[in-house]
Structure 1
Amino acid sequence: MEVQKRGLSIHLITSHDSPEFAHLNHALTHSFVIGLDAEWKPNRQASTFPAVSLLQIACQLVNAPELDSDESPIFLIDLQTIHMPPVYELLNQVFVAPNVLKLGFRFKQDLVYLSSTFCERDCAPGFDRVEPFIDISAIYNHLQTKQPGRRIPKQTKSLATICEEILGISLSKELQCSDWSQRPLTEEQKTYAAADAHCLVKIFNLFHAKVVREGKSSQPSDVGPGAGLKQILEKSSGDNMVTRAALVEASNMTRKIMPELHSIQTTEEANSMKSNNLNEQVDNSFLLVVRKHGDRILLKDSDRKPKTSKKKAKKIMSKPKTSEIIEDWEGPPPWDPSTGGDACPKFLCDVMVEGLAKHLRCVGIDAAVPHLRRPDTRDLIDQAQKEKRVLLTRDAKLLRHEYLIKNQIYRLKSLLKNDQLLEVIETFQLKISEDQLMSRCTKCNGKFIQKPLTTQEAVEAAKGFQVIPNCLFNKNLEFWQCMDCNQLYWEGTQYHNAVQKFIDVCKLNEQPEGDA
């Protein structure tokens, strides 16, 4: 099954004798770079690994005319329905093929779960290595601006953050915790899964283009130490065409020098391929990247055994059984005037629904996120209690603590942010008006100053903090500043698009029956 979404060529594979599987086989033997990712349903049992439900492979074909063309496909292999041995045989060859560079993001855990999944389905001994391999976080760390005499610490940023900084695109992670074991997969799940793998190849291509353009893996001399990754890749022109031109140049150079790869027939043949194949088939810049930054993932015997915590297991054993959990909202919320509240709705979105906080702020609702990056249950409860907020979550286990903060925990049933926003509005009977839209800082949840700033005042306020684009100077715009974080906003195209989006999402343009 082929799906065209957001310019991506997505192929869902559910059978080993389907045309899609034949397409995958051909693509893997004609690709020099592939991006790998996997999805699974979290396993609550500490004694076993979760079973991988979906494996995503994004291919960069040798003969693709453009890097984003349909000839650079993304394959979604449904491991719940497909006959596993043919898939295992193909992957076992590709994972160790020296003429195919594998990309991933913290892929070792995925490989452990994949190996366990295939072993459970009569494909022992599973996988033990992936090489040559490059982790996208290593590419990100290498692209960091280096200051003389100062060592840059290793970064542990998420893939979404890396995509935002390098590609300038927003990679939504709201479906990461969805149930990947349910079938059929939704169109949103397919697009999400494909985008995760596709962005790995796009990030590598930009890195490769940088190597081609500069002749070495180092930052341009004309970029200052304060520049971001996107500026480094695009130099100081601010024009994405520079990066695009270099990227096409890199791709063309590779295609001219690299002959068509031969199909891999057997595991023995794959293992017998010598490293000098890379010299014959890949241009010097690509070979330089593989030699300098290529790595491998090796699984030890200890990696194949789930790590259990005796202390945690003891806690679970001693925990008393709870009565049936009630997930429907009963109220009243802590802001209800009848209980002494101030009538101002306030929410706390846990890490599973942090994206919802930004949506709530966009419609003028006070929505906080946890103070800590990895809060435990006690931290969430303390913050909700102290700030008199309703804790929004997708984690049913948190409902067991409702006795600690009565009427301050609500479990969302919807998966997507727009649907979650509507669910919160309807459940808590919130009144949303067009005047409220974009009235809070989406960055920190703060309120805006009462009086707008002129362009001159905004430029002064932004010094050393934020850059005001030159194209705004002659538009006579009004600027608004957050009183908490000082972030500046203006009513440009992005603002108007956001307003219209939330008018539609909240159905503000639909008049109640009986209104003229």
Structure 2
Amino acid sequence: MDHPAPAAPPPLPVHLVTGGGSSPNLAHLLRSLAAARVVALDAEWKPRRRGSPAAAPAPLGDGTPLAPETFPAPPKFPTVTLLQVACRGGDGGEGERGEVFVVDLLAVPLADLWAPLRELFQRPDALKLGFRFKQDLVYLSATFAAALGRDAGFDRVEPFLDITNVYYYLKGHDTQKKHPKETKSLATICEELLSVSLSKELQCSDWSCRPLSEGQIQYAASDAYYLLDIFDLFQQKMTTEGTCSSTTELTSDRHCSSTVIECSSSGYDIYSGGYLMPIVTKYSEKILLTESDTKPRSSRRKEKLKLPTNAKCKDKVDCSTEWQGPPPWDPSIGGDGYPKFLCDVMIEGLAKHLRCVGIDAAIPSSKKPEPRELLNQTYKEGRILLTRDVKLLKYQYLASNQVYRVKSLLKHDQLAEVIDTFQLKISEDKLMSRCTKCNGSFIQKPLSLEEAVEASKGFQVIPSCLFNRNLEFWKCTDCNQLYWELMVERNELNRIII
């Protein structure tokens, strides 16, 4: 089975939009919005933990904070700090190159953006694309209303096409039936339709911190850009099928509108003449925000997740994200003094980093383990379960407080966090003492070049360029994998742990 290729940065120039009315990139964005016929939209905001306070309202366009009496109490919604826009002008077809903008809402006066965005959202000749965009619109509307006044929100987006519906259309799903309850993620949709892998490592990064990293900018731009690529597949399928009447409906309307120009099997261009009119008329929908959408609602789901009042484990559950020790290897509670971890599937890369510094770090015994399987392995092997999944914390009572939620996103930072949290003592003689492939131990004595060549026969090829270098070879006692040590690797590990 072919694995999807990692997502490259968008092949279009990415414009980071900052500054006020004199900003060239802001002027470029406004011109593109006015000319756009197909626009892909996405938004980012700082992830909020339970119980965190609402963000303060953004300032006016001139940077002056609003006086308290001039605005109502801000809704308890996250403040949108980044808006991604990928747009195409002309006829909106594949041939149009298009452009991608990453708009820094903390650095652009919202007063300069409100009218152009509102016009774009309601323009009938511009088709808007999004992935479950209603929540983004709610937060975006609340952000503008908090900064500019109650009437400065957004109440609708039309015509709109949800990429989720496009996905089910392209997969031949019977649209007379309801879509599956568990909707696909955008990463999964891109993987299945485009054979590209969208890394979501930065999804929960702090989008309110400035400056934005290059990785954040490219990540944000990709989420909007690939919506256009998916729309291209939709266009191709419609063109190939030839007739409007033979296509599977994306909406509940079972009849082709009289305003739709009849397509012919001779290859009618669906964008000619009326541009996007056939698609807009036949397949689009609209997002309408009601008054109830602008008011935060207490989550019923949270109530369902609460343990019954008579649950025996009630008093033992502690969902704190801070480690409260002692770890199971602590000699004071009968441990052997040797740290051991289990990294769940979300952070398997951290396991390799821990092994590089000599720490016993296992991965789940199955590819898609259930929470109880993870906790059972943790308990039996006396390990600490490392995870990014906050939901696993509620199962801590099954493994005597042996679950720790890693807060950092990048692997090097995660390694430093674990070393600091558990006060791990890393010495130079432990570096590269475990197999990064299987977690096994190396033989105590390094192999000579001749011994390594003999050990590699029929199993592993040693590059000939290494024969004239003064290297030490090591062999894993469990999986027989051969390693050779370069000083640059050891220096890099020293830099991480110091």
For Structure 1 versus Structure 2, the TM-score category normalised by the shorter chain is 0.5 to 0.7
Q: Which amino acid aligns with 1:103?
A: L
Distance 1:510 1:75, change over 3 A: closer
- Cα deviation, 1:109-161, whole Å, max 9, x if unaligned, reads 11011111000011432100001111111111112245999987465111111
Q: Which residue, out of 343, 359, 366, partners 2:362?
A: 366
Contact kept, 8 Å, 1:112 with 1:304, in 2: the verdict is: yes
Distance apart, 1:61 and its partner CA: 3.2
Give runs of aligned pairs for residues 314-353 of structure 1, distance below 5 A. 332=327, 334=329, 339=334, 345-349=340-344
Distance 1:146 1:307, change over 3 A: closer
Identity in percent:
42
1:356 maps onto 2:382 in alignment? no
Contact kept, 8 Å, 2:349 with 2:411, in 1: the verdict is: no
Report what 1:415 is aligned to: 409
Contact kept, 8 Å, 2:167 with 2:189, in 1: the verdict is: yes
Distance 1:335 1:66, change over 3 A: farther
1:294 maps onto 2:245 in alignment? no
* Residues in 2 aligned to 1:140 and 1:116: alpha-carbon distance in whole angstroms: 29
Report what 1:104 is aligned to: 130
1:55 maps onto 2:83 in alignment? yes
1:116 maps onto 2:142 in alignment? yes
Q: Which amino acid aligns with 1:360?
A: A
The answer for unaligned runs of 5 or more in structure 2 is 1-7, 53-74, 248-266, 307-313, 356-360, 440-457, 460-480
Secondary structure at the residue paired with 1:94?
Answer: helix
* Residues in 1 aligned to 2:144 and 2:175: alpha-carbon distance in whole angstroms: 48
Report what 2:240 is aligned to: 213
- Cα deviation, 1:224-259, whole Å, max 9, x if unaligned, reads xxxxxxxxxxxxxxxxxxxxxxxxxx9x9578x4xx
Secondary structure at the residue paired with 1:189?
Answer: helix
1:14 maps onto 2:18 in alignment? yes
* Residues in 2 aligned to 1:218 and 1:151: alpha-carbon distance in whole angstroms: 21
The more displaced of 173-182 and 379-388 is 379-388
The answer for unaligned runs of 5 or more in structure 1 is 221-249, 258-279, 441-476, 479-498
Distance 1:306 1:387, change over 3 A: farther
RMSD (Å) for aligned C-alpha atoms = 5.0
Distance 1:395 1:138, change over 3 A: closer
Report what 1:95 is aligned to: 121
Secondary structure at the residue paired with 2:148?
Answer: coil
* Residues in 1 aligned to 2:394 and 2:180: alpha-carbon distance in whole angstroms: 40
Calculate the TM-score normalised by the size of structure 1.
0.59
Contact kept, 8 Å, 1:84 with 1:123, in 2: the verdict is: no
* Residues in 2 aligned to 1:254 and 1:337: alpha-carbon distance in whole angstroms: 74
Contact kept, 8 Å, 2:321 with 2:404, in 1: the verdict is: no
Contact kept, 8 Å, 1:363 with 1:432, in 2: the verdict is: no
Distance apart, 1:347 and its partner CA: 1.5
Distance apart, 1:366 and its partner CA: 2.5
1:390 maps onto 2:384 in alignment? yes
- Cα deviation, 1:371-394, whole Å, max 9, x if unaligned, reads 55xx7xx99877754664423245
Calculate the TM-score normalised by the size of structure 2.
0.61
- Cα deviation, 1:269-300, whole Å, max 9, x if unaligned, reads xxxxxxxxxxx441xxx443333321110001
- Cα deviation, 1:285-329, whole Å, max 9, x if unaligned, reads x4433333211100011001000259979x9xxx99xx9x89589
Distance apart, 1:437 and its partner CA: 4.8
Distance 1:362 1:7, change over 3 A: farther
Distance 1:6 1:85, change over 3 A: closer
* Residues in 1 aligned to 2:78 and 2:199: alpha-carbon distance in whole angstroms: 23
Distance 1:124 1:218, change over 3 A: same
Give runs of aligned pairs for residues 85-484 of structure 1, distance below 5 A. 85-125=111-151, 126-145=153-172, 153=180, 156-216=183-243, 257=272, 280-282=273-275, 286-308=276-298, 332=327, 334=329, 339=334, 345-349=340-344, 354-357=345-348, 360=351, 365-368=361-364, 371=369, 384-385=378-379, 388-393=382-387, 408-417=402-411, 419-420=413-414, 436-439=435-438
Distance apart, 1:434 and its partner CA: 10
Distance 1:253 1:385, change over 3 A: same
Contact kept, 8 Å, 1:15 with 1:81, in 2: the verdict is: yes
Distance 1:154 1:370, change over 3 A: closer
Q: How many residues align?
A: 378
Distance apart, 1:213 and its partner CA: 2.3
* Residues in 2 aligned to 1:39 and 1:68: alpha-carbon distance in whole angstroms: 26
* Residues in 1 aligned to 2:340 and 2:407: alpha-carbon distance in whole angstroms: 20
Contact kept, 8 Å, 2:128 with 2:157, in 1: the verdict is: yes
Distance apart, 1:508 and its partner CA: 6.8
Distance apart, 1:60 and its partner CA: 2.2
* Residues in 1 aligned to 2:321 and 2:182: alpha-carbon distance in whole angstroms: 41
Report what 1:27 is aligned to: 32
